[in-house]
Chains A and B, each alone.
Chain A
Amino acid sequence: MKSLELNPSQLEHFIMQRYNIFLLLFILWIPPTFADQKTTDIVRAAINHWRDVSSYSVSDMIIHRPNWQRTMTLRVWTLGMKNSLVRVVKPKKDKGNANLIKNDEMWSFSPKTSRVIKIPSSMMSQSWMGSDFSNNDVAKADDLLKHYTHTLKGSETSYGHKVFIIEAIPNEDAPVVWGKEVIKVRADFIVLEHNFYDQDNVLVKKMITRDIKEMGGKLIATVQRMQKFANPQEWTEFVVTEAKFKINVSERTFSLSNLRNPRN
């Protein structure tokens, strides 16, 4: 009598077939909100609006804790998406500390040691200068473009402006820690809100901008507040006090030797 049992390869085939059917059903079920080029263009325009081809700005960074607050004044130069230089101006104690960001990598210089340290990639999700921004938040300006798929989730109206709500899901192999990001971009490409969700779709932290003013020849959000969702008492605010765009800055500004021996 012939055995009724399936041999292992037959069994596997059988399972695969069933799996494929489920997969097909699953794909057909996905609601038709396909990522489109137009949405990605909005994200790109928003990042370009903020970074421009080059920029120089002076900002106060306020780190707020329930029983304590600290303000630092920073000067920031940027060139394209890949180059940024940050120098601490105030307080006096931290004056001269600087960060160079180039190609998603980060170096730190401290006048106390007069040495340059490269921040290892394992430390990129750590806090930046003790704030609620992470090194990644500061260093990876265009990650949102490179490693994410964007979907337009809807739009709303805020103070007479149209606001796009865009969901960004990281690609399968993206080197990011977030499970999802949701940004709200005004029609004139000013980012109003940036929400970071973890892998379980839980809101971890959010950045809200306000005080949209004309500065350096265009409208920008001059205050950005980053706060952990679980701890509303703790936040970091970036207040831009001076900004210039399309400035004349050379690639040499963003070199390790300039980090060490400032010429600007």
Chain B
Amino acid sequence: MDIILRLAWRNIWRHPRRSGLTIAAISFAAALLIFMITLQFGSYDMMIDNSLRVLTGHFQIQRTGYLDKPKMRSTIADAPQLAEKLRDINGIVDIAARANGFALVASEERTYGVQVIGVETAHESNLSIIPGRIHSGKFLTSDTAQEVIISKALARNLRVTVGDELTLLGGGRDGSIAAAVLPIIGIFQSGMPDIDRGLIEMPLATFQDIFTMENSAHVLVGMVKNLTGLEMLLQQVRAEITPNPTEESPGQRDLVVLDWNTLVPGLRQMIQADMANGWFMYGCLILVVTFSILNTFLMAVLERTREFGVMLALGTKPLFIGKLVMLESLLLTLLGLGLGLIFGTAITLYFYIYGFSYPGMEEIGAQFGISGAVTPQMSLFAFTLGPAMILLFTMIASLYPALRIRMLKPVDAMKSV
């Protein structure tokens, strides 16, 4: 075994320039794949994170059926207390209750139908970007404050500004008429057109009071530290919200824990479409590299026909020569991949620290919820995926030259040039 390795190693360096070029080609392809795949995965993480950060959160707890038919009466009883309890689970950044309603809002001049959300003011900034996107005025001050914040486009349509009063008219949880007059304390701009056109937020307790919700809410919104471990964490949440049979907890049955993919099915579809696109390109790249390597290997074997003939005549088994050729390709590929991994990691690490962006990316990214620079994803999977594919395909490519040796006849081979 030792002799075959030494032979292979020496054979590689019989043509240092050719081997060097092959190694360079492999390492370039590997480095490129590592950089592109980590960047692509990084941009997906960003898309998911940013679009969920607007309002949806990483997961939500709702009453069964609320997702399809958000009815005012499908509520979670004592929602803030339940959120408080779940907040202790390790891995959850924050979780809080929200109440959703629909109301007509009127200014002095105009009336629009809008979505009204009641939020736990102390936690909302961990769950949504809206508290951080206050355009003028300020965010809701406390859970019982009689005030609202309103989206910028809606404020423009209603012709109101900070300090003006809004009249709300809607239907409460018990079917009663919900009405209130509240001052606008802040105007926000989320960057999402749908939200900016028709959303107002108010403190949860104020919402509960106006819409006769008692202490209930419609959803619990949660954010986690690490999205990759989400499903395991959700199992834990599910176990936590299942009612204890010894305890009387009416109304808490019937709750479902939904991950972001169920809440926003379009997001994953968009990513999958983009991924398919990406795979096609990577496939082409790998194929081109494979063929160039196949060419090198084939050349190396063909020009050594005479040499192999002599070896066969001296009693070397064809299997041994086949193994030798395979080992040469493997060594060559591994050298290339090793170098590629070093370069690829270096590039990725650089952009991981400084972020990747190019002029004009901000505008394109905005529609996918990507702002500014993309950070590549530093995961083992993203790093090894490209090199592993290259290794697989080059090994398949080197099979052909290795198998050719079995067809050689010693005398004929020795006669060839």
Contacts and interface: CB of A to CB of B under 8 A. Distances in A.
Interface of A: 63, 65, 68, 70, 88, 91, 93-94, 97, 108, 110, 112-113, 115, 117-120, 122-123, 126-127, 129-130
B250 to A, nearest CB: 13
Contacts of B81: none
A93 B180 contact: no
Interface of B: 73, 104, 106, 110-113, 167-169, 171, 174-177, 179-181
Nearest to B105: A117
A56 B343 CA distance: 86
Contacts of B175: 63, 68, 70, 130
A16 to B, nearest CB: 43
A110 B176 contact: no
A88 B177 contact: yes
Contact of B73 (A65, A94, A126, A129): A65
Contacts of A63: 175
B169 A123 contact: no
A63 B177 CA distance: 13
A110 B111 contact: no
Nearest to A95: B177
A136 B349 CA distance: 62
B113 A123 contact: yes
Contacts of B167: 113, 115, 117
A40 B176 CA distance: 39
B104 to A, nearest CB: 6
Given A120-B111, A126-B113, A113 B181 contact: yes
B180 A120 contact: no
Contacts of A108: 104, 169
A123 B180 contact: no
A117 B106 contact: yes
A112 B179 contact: yes
A126 B177 CA distance: 14
B138 to A, nearest CB: 24
Contacts of A113: 167-169, 179-181
Contacts of B168: 113
Contact of A110 (B73, B113, B179): B179
Nearest to B181: A113
A94 B177 contact: yes
A92 B383 CA distance: 67
The 7 closest A-B pairs by CB, nearest first: A110-B179, A70-B175, A112-B179, A117-B106, A130-B171, A113-B181, A130-B175
B177 A110 contact: yes
A94 B170 CA distance: 12
Nearest to A93: B176
A118 B176 CA distance: 19
Given A117-B111, A130-B175, 20 more contacts: A63-B175, A65-B73, A68-B73, A68-B175, A88-B177, A94-B176, A108-B104, A110-B169, A110-B179, A113-B168, A113-B169, A113-B180, A115-B106, A115-B181, A120-B104, A120-B111, A122-B113, A127-B171, A129-B171, A130-B177
Nearest to B170: A130
The residue in B73, B168, B179 that gathers the most chain A C-beta atoms within 10 A of its C-beta is B179
A126 B171 CA distance: 11
Contacts of B171: 127, 129-130
29 contacts: A63-B175, A68-B73, A68-B175, A88-B177, A97-B179, A108-B104, A108-B169, A110-B169, A110-B179, A112-B179, A113-B168, A113-B169, A113-B179, A115-B106, A115-B167, A115-B181, A117-B104, A117-B167, A117-B169, A118-B111, A119-B104, A120-B111, A122-B113, A123-B104, A123-B111, A123-B113, A127-B171, A129-B177, A130-B171
B202 to A, nearest CB: 15
Contacts of A118: 106, 111
Contacts of B176: 91, 93-94
* Centre residue among B104, B110, B171, B177 by max chain A CB count within 10 A: B177
A123 B176 CA distance: 18
A235 B181 CA distance: 31
Nearest to B72: A130
Contacts of A123: 104, 111, 113
Contact of B112 (A65, A70, A115, A120): A120
Contacts of A120: 104, 110-113
A112 B167 CA distance: 10
B166 to A, nearest CB: 10
